[in-house]
Chain A
């Protein structure tokens, strides 16, 4: 779903199922993408990243897919566990319009709830 104001999109899954969290990014010049996990009361924590010269990257239980044609990024979590419950943010990075410094732009976030 769409996020409006304070309402984060929420994904609810059963423990053991696979989760897919989607993100649309805005800048076609972005060349680096990062997924972060944020648990309640904590700062964001790095999960996985991908550069624009790749379309897939795998980590432990997580896979990031990048589709540059439609500017879409997804995070797949295999065998979702209760500890995966958190808010997930995607972030994109590229050079600004002036071409001088790199800007890290954050998405709105998706809340993942894992039901035991």
Chain B
């Protein structure tokens, strides 16, 4: 089975610029997560989608971050404008369903460096 695909793998931008990340989850997975992982820490949930609806975005800095999941499949996460502290790995994960006792599958992540 194909895994969760993310692109790009790496991105370097200057502060105040914009950036977008793309995620293609495993086919049939209704739940999609975006996580931010700062070096040396565990993943921090930014947003959780169930199909194309937002379930939890309580930790998403909405003044600069936005995310959408078109047609309940692919998703994009955007940062505009970026700050130095946004440097992190952005992980996308998908899951069959949030109310089912199954694991989440993660992509390789996008490593963002803001200079």
Known contacts A6-B40, A44-B106; is A32 also within 8 Å of B98 by CB? Answer: no
Q: What count of chain A residues pass the 8 Å CB interface test? A: 23
Contact B109 A43 (CB under 8 A): yes
Contact A109 B93 (CB under 8 A): no
Contact A101 B42 (CB under 8 A): no
A-B contact pairs, 17 of them (CB 8 A): A5-B40, A32-B101, A34-B103, A41-B108, A42-B108, A43-B93, A43-B106, A43-B108, A43-B109, A44-B43, A44-B93, A46-B103, A49-B103, A101-B48, A102-B99, A103-B56, A109-B42
Total inter-chain residue pairs, C-beta < 8 Å: 51
The one of A6, A43, A44, A102 in contact with B41, judged by C-beta atoms closer than 8 angstroms, is A6
Name the distance in Å between A41's Cβ and chain B's nearest Cβ: 8
Contact B98 A6 (CB under 8 A): no
Flag A74-109 by CB within 8 Å of B: 1 or 0 each: 000000000000000100000000000111101111
Q: What count of chain B residues pass the 8 Å CB interface test? A: 25
Contact B55 A109 (CB under 8 A): no
Name the distance in Å between B109's Cβ and chain A's nearest Cβ: 5
**Which parts of B85-110 form the interface with A (CB within 8 Å)?**
91, 93, 98-99, 101, 103-109
Q: Which residue of B lies closest to A103 (CB)?
A: B56
The one of B43, B45, B106 in contact with A45, judged by C-beta atoms closer than 8 angstroms, is B106
Q: Which residue of A lies closest to B35 (CB)?
A: A106
Contacts A41-B108, A43-B107, A102-B98 given; 17 further ones with Cβ under 8 A? Answer: A6-B41, A7-B40, A43-B106, A43-B108, A44-B43, A44-B91, A45-B106, A46-B103, A101-B50, A101-B56, A102-B99, A104-B33, A106-B43, A106-B44, A107-B42, A108-B41, A109-B42
B2 beta carbon closer than 8 Å to chain A: no
List, in ascending order, chain B residues with CB within 8 A of A89's CB: 42-43
A51 beta carbon closer than 8 Å to chain B: yes
